[in-house]
């Protein structure tokens, strides 16, 4: 397959040229239902997201904290499945064709659909990348390498527990960007210490030129601003999911997602703009 520059590559090149740190936002597809979730998805680019991660709901999201677990359950109870998630991507592409979109989740729903069938539909819909948290590098033949044939980046996670021996294997087939998990445990829990995370990210940079996005535990604009001073992108998920969970009405939830995204984008933009 002839390679063309993927939206993720273009976006990180644009960010680098502008000396900007990117904002990566995560919401779960179908939470609390398809229509409300689609409304939030369509609002994210204008609110300031540079990359969107769209969660593929799954019954056993073992790496996710309570907020994203509950979001997956709400979505599944409302009838969300892989076809409806891909329909959301197509709806986004009818409105916005430049923002990179990454599907994030677990291998089981992809396996059940069939890898080639999934990748073909995902590519046609306008998916740019995949984060599949339960497929380690030892299983790259399963999905990572086939995804590359469809010009879909396979974005790997690294963590404080990824030692020097393991890191080269993690980086080997990673493309698009590396998602650095800034704290151990599940998503949305302890806030990372910026000084420690910066040292860990700098250590990884000695081994790769790939952009590094930092996430897990980043909840506020101030936290995002501190991480943005050294990361190529800041990833926020659980805090956005909780906007939906805690809202009195669906419309209020969507507005809260937009407001927080806008505040995060402004904070991230200020972090490196005048350095």
**Residues annotated as catalytic (active site), given as ranges:** 53, 64
- What the block records as the tokens of 123 is 């590519």
Beta-bridge partner residues of 101: 52
In angstroms, how far is CA 185 from the centroid of its own chain?
17
Question: How far apart are the C-alpha atoms of 49 and 264, rounded to whole Å?
Answer: 9
Give the residue from 181, 186, 268, 274 showing the smallest Cα distance to 227.
268
Question: How far apart are the C-alpha atoms of 53 and 102, rounded to whole Å?
Answer: 5
Cα–Cα distances (Å) from 64 to 10, 25, 104, in that order, read 29, 15, 11
Q: Which helix (H) or strand (E) holds 132?
A: strand 129-132
């Amino acid at each position: 397959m002839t390679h063309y520059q993927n939206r993720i590559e273009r976006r990180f090149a644009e960010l680098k040229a502008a000396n900007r740190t990117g904002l990566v936002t995560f919401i779960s597809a179908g939470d609390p239902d398809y229509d409300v979730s689609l409304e939030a998805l369509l609002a994210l680019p204008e609110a300031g997201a540079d990359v969107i991660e769209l969660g593929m709901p799954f019954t056993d999201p073992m790496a996710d904290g309570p907020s994203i677990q509950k979001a997956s359950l709400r979505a599944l109870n409302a009838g969300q499945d892989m076809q409806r998630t891909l329909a959301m991507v197509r709806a986004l592409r009818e409105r916005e064709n430049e923002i990179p979109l990454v599907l994030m989740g677990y291998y089981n729903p992809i396996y059940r659909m069939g890898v080639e069938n999934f990748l073909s539909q995902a590519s046609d819909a306008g998916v740019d990348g995949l984060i599949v948290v339960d497929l380690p590098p030892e299983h790259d033949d399963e999905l990572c390498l086939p995804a590359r044939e469809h010009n879909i980046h396979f974005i790997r996670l690294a963590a404080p527990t990824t030692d020097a021996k393991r890191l080269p294997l993690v980086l080997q087939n990673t493309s698009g960007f590396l998602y650095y998990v800034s704290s151990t445990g599940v998503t949305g829990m302890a806030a990372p210490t910026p000084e420690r995370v910066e040292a860990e990210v700098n250590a990884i940079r000695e081994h790769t030129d790939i952009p590094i996005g930092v996430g897990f535990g980043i909840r506020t604009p101030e936290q995002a601003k501190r991480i943005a001073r050294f990361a190529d992108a800041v990833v926020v998920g659980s805090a956005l999911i909780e906007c939906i969970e805690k809202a009195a009405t669906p419309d209020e939830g969507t507005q809260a997602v937009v407001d927080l995204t806008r505040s995060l984008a402004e904070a991230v933009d200020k972090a490196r703009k005048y350095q």
